[in-house]
């Protein structure tokens, strides 16, 4: 497999002496859907900033599809599309002009740039807004505009820094679908997000960064396999006054019709239902208490403190 | 990047810059037209008629080249300083930084954008001046050459100012406290022969004097300074300022962390 992105011993110390990256190494395979997670200030945006030439590195190396950003920056940049965290387009320009201008920066002639802009603006539901000034768009539309702009030169790697921040659930889901679609078509995607559900749902591989160091780098499957215990919430069909006893399980009654049951990975849920059934307790519905990845994330970051 | 791709990137920056200043023409093209018309009426007609001749020409004829050059200088500078600082301020400079556009193309694009506005305003002022005087061009090559080179110098100056600027105040300090005084003292309204010898010497340290007088030579055929020296000096300025601007872009001053 070809490396879409290879980072080796990357360091960044800002002018005020803050060491944002302490020698991280990372490899993302071609075609991957990769999540870079970490708490605020962990170094995610600095890493992506260096990869996309917005931040000068202090040391280390970065290459995109084998093109070093030190020796072959133009080719590395041609392979990259970047969707930053903050809106960074000119709010007074028309939507279509923003996308066409970006295509021009990549050397795409005007007519071809117009065609590509039309394709991606239609794909992202912005074609009707093409002649509006960008400042008139809603927050979700502005995010989609930045995605259209990043894709207009057909990059092999798309970097998204918190692409769904501030986007409503419906739109977030449609954005996920779009990202899955372009990933299936061959675009390698690297994203940072605070919505761990998003990373779990979309990404095949994951790295967790904290205090400028990679503390976890594996497949999503392998990471989630580390989870030993899950908490399930059972909504009861009727009220209870006392906590029912379920042998081998830790049970809490959070209110008269809601039970929380902690289940070890090896235990399964059959015994829970059979014991509750024996006691005449009927379960109306069930759900996970928290996002599984979120539990792991918190435990990993806590360990690193 | 292939040369065709480089040209497309360069042209994209130029088109964006021209679109910007033409979109906001009431802020960029109209004010200098009004100001210069007032100069022509007040200094040229009302006061000028009492001043008499300057350098062997009507006062109106004498000040027209200076006023055209003043417009070119302030607008070439003003376009780049406000556009590039705005691009930095709104972070849309990142659109250029993530793209494979070499720094010399970025610089060239902004400089040509600045020149486009400087020359557009210069042309507007020239057309307006024709309502007040007959313009005869003495030396077309000198006239066109000096106006282009001066425009480049001040577009580069505006670029450097924008790179260092961190607030909107920073982009008005140089034009207000340096550029305007140097322009007014650069022989736009008078010949330095009117000054005492000491102040003539001081005036010769002002680079704008050379630009204004060379342009005046191109139009009227009279000058307070040596035209050949002026061209050499301006070319040196361009090389130094362009080199410094590229250095700032290469190190990412004010635009990269």
Top CATH class of A3-225 equals: alpha beta
ipTM rounded to 2 decimals = 0.88
Query: Is the Cβ of A82 closer than 8 Å to some Cβ of chain B?
Result: yes
Is residue A47 predicted with pLDDT exceeding 70? yes
Residue keyed to tokens 């069909």: A237
Domain membership flag for residue B221: yes
Cβ pair B12:A88 closer than 8 A: no
Q: Which residues contact A174 (CB under 8 A, 6 or more apart)?
A: A125
CB contacts of A78 in chain B (<8 Å) are 100
The pLDDT assigned to B240 comes to: 97
Query: Count of domains in chain B?
Result: 1
CB contacts of B13 in chain A (<8 Å) are 105
Structural contact between residues A193 and A83, judged by C-beta atoms closer than 8 angstroms: no
Average pLDDT over residues A207-217: 90
Query: Is the Cβ of A73 closer than 8 Å to some Cβ of chain B?
Result: yes
Q: Which residues contact A252 (CB under 8 A, 6 or more apart)?
A: A243, A259, A260
Average pLDDT over residues A116-123: 95
Whole-prediction pTM: 0.84
The pLDDT assigned to A168 comes to: 78
CB contacts of B90 in chain A (<8 Å) are 88-91
CB contacts of B95 in chain A (<8 Å) are 88-89, 101-102, 105, 149
The bridge status of strand A157-161 relative to strand A80-83 is parallel
Cβ pair A77:B99 closer than 8 A: yes
Query: Is the Cβ of B6 closer than 8 Å to some Cβ of chain A?
Result: yes
Q: Where are the domains of chain A?
A: 3-225, 229-304
Length of chain A as a residue count: 305
Query: Is the Cβ of B5 closer than 8 Å to some Cβ of chain A?
Result: yes
CB contacts of B16 in chain A (<8 Å) are 101
Cβ pair B94:A84 closer than 8 A: yes
Backbone angles phi, psi at A188, to 5 degrees: -75, 135
Is residue A251 predicted with pLDDT exceeding 90? no
CB contacts of B6 in chain A (<8 Å) are 107
User: What radius of gyration do chain B's Cα atoms show?
Assistant: 19
* pLDDT tens column, A141-188: 999 999 999 999 999 999 999 888 777 778 888 888 999 999 999 999
Q: Give me the residues of chain B with pLDDT under 70, please.
A: 1
Other CB atoms within a 10 A radius of the CB of residue A149 amount to: 26
Q: Which residues contact A203 (CB under 8 A, 6 or more apart)?
A: A33, A34, A35, A191, A220
Sheet holding A33-37, edge to edge: A80-83, A157-161, A188-192, A33-37, A205-210, A213-219
Range of the domain at B203: 3-251
* Cβ contacts from A onto B, under 8 A: 81
Report the residue from B16, B97, B256 with minimal CB separation from A101: B16
The pLDDT assigned to A288 comes to: 77
Residue keyed to tokens 């009431």: B26
Here the tokens at position A291 are 């996002």
CATH topology for A229-304 is Alpha-Beta Plaits (3.30.70)
Domain membership flag for residue B26: yes
Cα nearest neighbour of B91 on chain A: A88
- CA-based nearest distance B205→chain A, Å: 38
């Amino acid at each position: 497999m070809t490396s879409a992105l290879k980072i080796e011993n990357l360091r960044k110390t800002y002018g005020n002496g803050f060491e944002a990256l302490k020698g991280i190494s990372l490899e993302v395979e071609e075609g991957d859907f990769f999540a870079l997670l970490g708490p605020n200030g962990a170094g995610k945006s600095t890493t992506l900033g260096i990869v996309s030439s917005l931040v000068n590195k202090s040391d280390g190396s970065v290459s995109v599809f084998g093109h070093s950003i030190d020796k072959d920056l133009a080719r590395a940049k041609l392979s990259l599309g970047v969707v930053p965290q903050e809106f960074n387009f000119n709010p007074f320009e028309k939507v279509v002009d923003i996308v066409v201008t970006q295509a021009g920066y990549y050397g795409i002639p005007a007519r071809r740039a117009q065609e590509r802009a039309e394709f991606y603006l239609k794909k992202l539901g912005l074609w009707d807004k093409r002649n509006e000034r960008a400042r008139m768009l809603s927050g979700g539309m502005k995010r989609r505009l930045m995605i259209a702009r990043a894709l207009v030169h057909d990059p092999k790697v798309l970097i998204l820094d918190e692409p769904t921040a501030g986007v409503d659930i419906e739109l977030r889901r449609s954005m996920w679908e779009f990202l899955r679609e372009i990933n299936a078509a061959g675009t390698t995607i690297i994203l940072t997000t605070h919505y761990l559900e998003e990373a779990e749902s979309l990404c095949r591989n994951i790295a967790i960064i904290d205090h400028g160091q990679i503390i976890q780098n594996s497949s999503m499957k392998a990471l989630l396999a580390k989870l030993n215990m899950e908490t399930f919430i059972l909504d009861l069909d009727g009220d209870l006054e006392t906590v029912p006893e379920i042998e081998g399980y830790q049970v809490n009654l959070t209110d008269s019709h809601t039970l929380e049951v902690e289940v070890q990975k090896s235990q399964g849920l059959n015994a829970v239902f059979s014991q509750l059934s024996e006691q005449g307790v009927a379960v109306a519905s069930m759900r996970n208490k928290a996002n599984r990845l979120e539990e792991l994330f918190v435990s990993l970051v806590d360990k690193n403190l | 990047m292939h040369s065709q791709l480089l040209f497309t990137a360069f042209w994209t920056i130029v088109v964006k810059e021209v679109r910007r200043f033409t979109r906001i023409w009431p802020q960029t093209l109209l004010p200098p037209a009004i100001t210069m018309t007032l100069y022509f009426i007040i200094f040229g007609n009302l006061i000028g008629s009492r001043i008499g001749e300057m350098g062997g020409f009507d006062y109106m004829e004498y000040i027209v080249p200076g006023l055209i050059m003043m417009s070119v200088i302030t607008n070439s500078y003003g376009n780049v300083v406000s556009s590039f600082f705005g691009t930095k301020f709104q972070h849309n400079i990142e659109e250029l930084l993530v793209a494979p556009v070499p720094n010399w193309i970025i610089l060239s694009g902004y400089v040509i954008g600045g020149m486009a506005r400087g020359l557009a305003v210069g042309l507007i002022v020239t057309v307006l001046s024709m309502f007040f005087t007959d313009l005869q061009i003495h030396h077309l090559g000198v006239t066109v050459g000096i106006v282009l080179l001066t425009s480049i110098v001040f577009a580069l100056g505006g670029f450097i100012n924008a790179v260092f600027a961190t607030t909107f105040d920073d982009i008005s300090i140089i034009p207000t406290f340096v550029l305007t005084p140097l322009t007014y003292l650069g022989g736009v309204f008078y010949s330095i022969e009117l000054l005492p010898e000491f102040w003539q010497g001081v005036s010769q340290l002002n680079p704008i004097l050379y630009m204004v007088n060379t342009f005046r030579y191109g139009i009227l055929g009279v000058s307070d300074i040596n035209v050949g020296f002026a061209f050499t000096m301006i070319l040196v300025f361009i090389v130094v300022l362009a080199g410094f601007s590229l250095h700032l872009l290469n190190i990412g001053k004010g635009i990269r962390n």
